Every structure is written in C-alpha cells, then in structure tokens.
C-alpha cells in the first residue's frame, strides 16, 4: 500500500510512481509524455497537490515531457514533524529536482506554477540558480502582503487551530478548499484534495505549512528583482479569484519585462479546476510560441 492509499486517497487515476530524496523529505513525482519532447515542470500550491494539474498535464503531454510532483509536506510526499516546508525550502527542492531530472543547460525546462508554487518557482530561479526556458505563473503568490483573509487568520493562530477537535478541523479544511473554486469543485475532486489533511500526520502538516509561511516571508526578498526576469513570462489569473484578487495580476505583470497577462473569465483561484480547457489552451500556446 502506498502512502497516499494509506491516507485514504484514491491513486488509480493519478499516481506519482517515483521518488526523490530531497533535503526536506521524500518527494513523489511522475513524468508524462515522450522522453525526447520539450520538458515542462508543473508546480502546485497550497493546500493542494499535483492532482490539480492532472488535466493540463495529460493534455500538454501530447507535445511535451511533463514533470509533476508533490511538494514536501503535501499530497503523497513525506509529511513529518519538524519538517522544513518554508517557501525557500520548497524552492531548493525544485532546484534539486530539476538537476536530478537532468533539465539543465540546453535542456532547461519551461515551468508552470500556481499559487505558492509561483513563489517557489521565482525563488528557485532568482536565488538558487534554476534555469528555465520560460515561466508561466497562474494566480501566484508573488506580491506581499499575500494570502486570503482565512489564510492570514490561520497563520496568526496556527497553534490554536492545530488543537481543534478532528471533526472541526475536517469542517474547516472542507470549507477552505471549496472556497478556492468559483463554480464549485466536483465532489470527487474535492474529496481528493481534502483527504491528505485529515489524518493525524496530515492535520499537523496542514497547520505547519501555514505556520512556517506567514504572508510576507518568501516574497519580500525577491519582489524587487522581478525586473531581472529575462525570459518569456505568462501571467494567468482567474477573474473571480477571491484568494488573491485579479488586480494583483495586473501589478505583477507590470513588474516583469515583456510579461503577458491573460485573465480567464469565470474562474476562481483554482483555475485548473474551474477553466481547464481555457488554461490549457493558453499554456499550450505560450509553450509553443512564448506568447
């Protein structure tokens, strides 16, 4: 039985079948598409997992070698007490994975990153030497202060919320994850995203990753460097995002030389779930042409 199965997560439709021993714990990952196709790395955010990328990943794999992974402390990857799950630790994990996959020099990948993953990808590139051919940021954490009102409340009182009875913790996670979608998540998708956080280890991990990432740490030391980004950049944003309002997308795109901004109507923060066809079309075009 895999770790994910032990947590009650169905793995028949999305399996991360490989492992990498990163500095913050074992990372589960998978690769889709032809081995000799142009590489693309997908990075998820919080409180999600690579599962949110399943639709775009499968579609993009027709023309690309697509790498997906669960960040340490998330999904099927290792969760343990004392784990370093800060945004900088995740950025170092991404840089290590890219090196592990051999995606360096002329083989540098395109990177597509959502939510926390946006900050992770930006830090890996600007601070840890990870080279990309191009970068797409989807409703990213990039400008301080960040975080929804709920996230900020949890960050300020993580130790209190960690002591919630299990049934109240479960209700909180259900409500929190559901608020990321504008039209609402399919029940199976919702259950899949909630499940990793409902075990004893998952409950602790849920509050740990919030406690270690208060809404300014992780962006303060890179926000002034976005003008240094010298590669094609696409910024996608859900028009109905209530976690990070679309105005932040306009601000971010203005800070990055030559960045293109694409607003996706009818989508909330989880654009991959709310408008997968529109997002995949925009990403596919950008990966082929840089626009």
Task: Indicate if the pLDDT at residue 10 is higher than 50.
Answer: no
Structure tokens given for 76: 């099927």
Count of CB atoms situated within 10 Å of the CB of 10: 14
Residues 217-229: tens digit of each pLDDT:
889 999 999 999 9
Task: Indicate if the pLDDT at residue 3 is higher than 60.
Answer: no
Task: Indicate if the pLDDT at residue 161 is higher than 60.
Answer: yes
Percentage of the chain lying above the pLDDT 90 cut = 88
pLDDT of residue 218: 87
pLDDT of residue 290: 66
User: How does residue 2 score in pLDDT terms, banded at 50, 70 and 90?
Assistant: very low
pTM of the prediction?
0.94
β 18-22/25-32 pair status: antiparallel
E strand spans, 36-163: 39-43, 65-69, 110-114, 134-138
Alpha-carbon span 4 to 6, nearest angstrom: 5
Structure tokens given for 10: 């169905």
Task: Indicate if the pLDDT at residue 23 is higher than 60.
Answer: yes
What is the chain's mean pLDDT, rounded? 93
pLDDT of residue 149: 87
Residues 169-192: tens digit of each pLDDT:
999 999 999 999 999 999 999 999
- Domains parsed from the chain with CATH numbers: 3-289 (3.40.50.1820)
pLDDT of residue 214: 82
Contact 30, 104 (CB under 8 A): no
Residues 99-118: tens digit of each pLDDT:
999 999 999 999 999 999 99
């Amino acid at each position: 039985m895999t770790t994910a199965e032990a947590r009650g997560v169905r793995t028949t439709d999305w399996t991360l079948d490989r492992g990498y021993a990163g500095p913050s714990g074992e990372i589960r990952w998978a690769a889709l598409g032809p081995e000799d196709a142009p590489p693309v790395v997908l990075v998820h955010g919080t409180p999600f997992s690579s599962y949110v990328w399943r639709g775009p990943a499968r579609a993009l794999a027709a023309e690309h070698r697509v790498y997906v992974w669960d960040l340490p402390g998330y999904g099927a990857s290792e969760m343990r007490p004392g784990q370093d799950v800060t945004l900088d630790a995740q950025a170092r994990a991404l840089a290590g994975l890219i090196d592990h996959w051999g995606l360096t020099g002329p083989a540098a990948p395109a990177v597509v990153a959502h939510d926390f993953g946006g900050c992770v990808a930006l830090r890996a590139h600007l601070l840890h030497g990870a080279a990309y051919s191009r970068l797409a940021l989807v409703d990213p954490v990039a400008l301080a202060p960040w975080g929804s009102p709920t996230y900020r409340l949890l960050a300020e009182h993580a130790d209190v919320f960690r002591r919630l009875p299990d049934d109240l913790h479960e209700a909180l996670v259900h409500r929190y994850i559901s608020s990321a979608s504008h039209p609402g998540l399919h029940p199976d998708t919702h259950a899949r995203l909630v499940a990793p956080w409902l075990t004893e280890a998952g409950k602790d991990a849920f509050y740990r990753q919030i406690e270690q990432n208060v809404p300014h740490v992780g962006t303060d030391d890179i926000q002034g460097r976005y003008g240094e980004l010298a590669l094609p950049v696409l910024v996608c944003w859900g028009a109905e995002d209530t976690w990070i309002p679309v105005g932040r997308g306009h601000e971010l795109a203005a800070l990055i030389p030559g960045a293109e901004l694409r607003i996706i109507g009818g989508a909330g923060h989880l654009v991959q779930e709310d408008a997968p066809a529109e997002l995949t079309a925009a990403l596919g075009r950008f990966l082929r042409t840089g626009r």
